[in-house]
Amino acid sequence: MSTSETAPASTPARGYSATKEGLLARLKRIEGQVRGVLGMVADDRYCIDVLTQISAIQAALDKVALGLLDDHARHCVMGADGADRVDKTDELMASVARLMRRG
C-alpha cells in the first residue's frame, strides 16, 4: 500500500511523518496478528494460547501508541505557540489518560 504518493506535498507534516513507513509496517503486522487470532478461534485452539496472542497484540499496540505520543509531543505540541500549546497539552494528556485506561 504505497500511500505516501497520495498525500499532496502541501499536507501539513504530522508528527509521525518521518516514521510513517515504519508505522504502517507495524500496523500491517498487527492486522496480521489479529487475523491470526481469528484463525486460532476458528480452529478451536486452546484459550490460553489465544490469550497469549492477544497480549502480544496489546504490547504491539502500546508500542505504536507510545511512538505516536512521542512524535506528537515532540513535533506538534512543542512546536505550537502560546494558547495553542496549552490546548495541545490538554489533548495529549487526555490521550495518555485513555491509554492508561483512566480517560
Contact 38, 57 (CB under 8 A): no
Residues numbered 7 to 36 that lie near a copy of itself (CB under 8 A) are 7, 11, 14-17, 20, 23-24, 27-28, 30-31, 34-35
Length of the chain counted residue by residue: 103
| Phi/psi at 12 (5° precision) | -60, 130
d(CA 79, CA 12): 13
Among positions 9, 18, 41, 84, the unique one binding a copy of itself when judged by CB under 8 A: 41
Instruction: Compute the least distance from the CB of residue 11 to a copy of itself, in Å.
Output: 5
Instruction: Compute the least distance from the CB of residue 9 to a copy of itself, in Å.
Output: 12
